[in-house]
A and B are shown apart, each in its own frame.
Chain A
């Protein structure tokens, strides 16, 4: 293990390490702590210049209450949810199938297709922006959740296929061969042999895509424009212009907007990290 395990070092370093950990963490999260502190302060603190100190009164309930009951935030949160969930399902389903095809079968152009999926995933969004916006307009899907979902599914499929294919490659192939000897139809092999083995990959991708899509801002601005369809990342700007310079409310709003992926991460940490490392760094 590197660096040297702390248990094998001197007593002083052991103690200072234990003390250093929380200090470093506080420094690392300082901007966030400041915002969390903002969000529980009363408005009067900002008038009196008490920006960073301890809140003069605890106003979390009224601040967060106003976010939920006096703004469009709940609508934006729902939109985010109805954009994110279908995208996760769609992208994972499409890429599980594509990954199965690319990982199990040998055919001409297999590797080429695989690399097209990877390359497409690296492309800068901007080169897709004008045509995709145009396409969405002509499908009459501009400013709808469906328009966003369709694009997200398509774009995420690249990354997901890369992930799924590599995962399927690492599965024991004799299993599939055995199933074939039994005369099982190929689609049944996918459904009943391969899919159950892919549960960890499915979970990892689902969590990861959830976070990516929830946090998307660029496409939300390009393809939607109002509280009817905009997700919370775009809605937060409208919220902030409604409460201009009311930092206690703006920071409460931001925390609310950021929370769902954070909760997802803490609940599904193991899968999340497996996904992030592309399964490549085992």
Chain B
């Protein structure tokens, strides 16, 4: 769609017009943008810069900031003679686990979408019931799953017991806890990806499907060569929201294990919060440094997302 330049006003012949009237087309967009820009700058753009600044200081959040240069980063990453902050490396590896395993939501969502993409009576009801874990707050999802995992009262062990497997304490076991939380996170995330694919499947060109069917394509081959290419926009959005969701994971960890057992379920976003606002005193500078590192991890993805969107934008012009 082309945006044409302003159409000259029909009253252009009248010589005396106010300054605003003459520049209306140029000024109006800025007037409309102003409130959003002020809010966004004050609460989002400027704080990003401030966090960088704070991360170069030692600060308890109340008194004076003390300039320490890159000392916070050196302590985190173990540059120079310091050792890597062990809590930091645990968090970092957990973040990677989250990133990789959370992506399972995409194929799982696609699978459920394919399963539900039918027209039988009551299918709308089933679609919304499959979707609705996404609408529940992560806090409640966390609670629901921590009760599901309870060693004695939880349903999971009842099911395992039925199959003869011994009781496990998912959230109490440092080797299992992170996976348990990720599984809880996958539940709503899969629902989200499912709805994206269901809407995508609606838009799949039926003629292409029919043509491919005449050519003898079916099952997985059809899915891979005919359907998936047409689902690309849905896959892109699913990818974006899943990556962001994985790196933002905080609520579930805070509710289900609070970082434990023995700090084994910390991720960067949680560790940052803990350092900055924990009961052991506010270490804002150190926390900000963690946030900056998380920001740079995210920045790689953000750049890619924006690049892909920019390509789209150019195509649209």
Give A residues with C-beta under 8 Å from B. Answer: 1-7, 17-18, 21, 24-25, 28-32, 34-35, 38, 46, 51-52, 94-95, 97-98, 100-102, 104-107, 110-111, 113, 115-120, 122-135, 150-151, 153-155, 157-158, 161, 169-170, 173, 177, 180-183, 185-187, 190, 211, 214-215, 217-218, 221-222, 233, 236-237, 240, 247, 250-251, 254-255, 257-258, 261-262, 264-266, 269, 273, 276-278, 280-282
The distance in angstroms between the C-alpha atoms of A120 and B204, with both chains bound, is 32
B24-64: CB near A (< 8 Å → 1, else 0) gives 11101110110111011011111110110010000001000
If A118-B309, A119-B306, A123-B44 touch, whether A257 touches B137 (CB-CB below 8 Å) is yes
**Cα A157 to Cα B273 with chains together (Å):** 24
State the main secondary structure of chain A at its contact with B.
helix
Measured in the bound complex, the distance between the Cα atoms of B143 and A254 in whole Å is 8
Interface of B with A (CB < 8 Å)? 1-7, 9-11, 24-26, 28-30, 32-33, 35-37, 39-40, 42-48, 50-51, 54, 61, 114-115, 117-120, 122-123, 126, 128-133, 135-140, 143-145, 147-148, 152-155, 158, 187, 192, 195-196, 199-201, 203-204, 206, 209, 218, 222-223, 226-227, 233-234, 237, 240, 244, 247-248, 250-251, 254-255, 268-269, 272-273, 276-277, 284, 287-288, 290-292, 294-295, 298, 301-302, 305-306, 309-310, 313, 316
Chain A residues within an 8 Å CB radius of B268: 126
Interface of B is mostly: helix
A124: which of B199, B222, B294 is its contact (CB, 8 Å)? Answer: B294
Known: A126-B272, A281-B200. A1 touches B206 (CB 8 A): yes
CB pair B139–A186 under 8 Å, yes or no, is no
Check A130 against B51 for contact (C-beta < 8 Å). yes
With A129-B273, A217-B254 given, is the CB distance from A24 to B148 under 8 Å? no
Q: Is the CB of A276 within 8 A of B195?
A: yes
CB-CB < 8 A to A122: which residues of B?
A: 240, 244, 298, 301-302, 305
**In contact, B118 and A5 (Cβ under 8 angstroms):** yes
CB closest residue in chain B, given A150? B43
Cα of A38 to Cα of B147 in the assembled complex, Å: 10
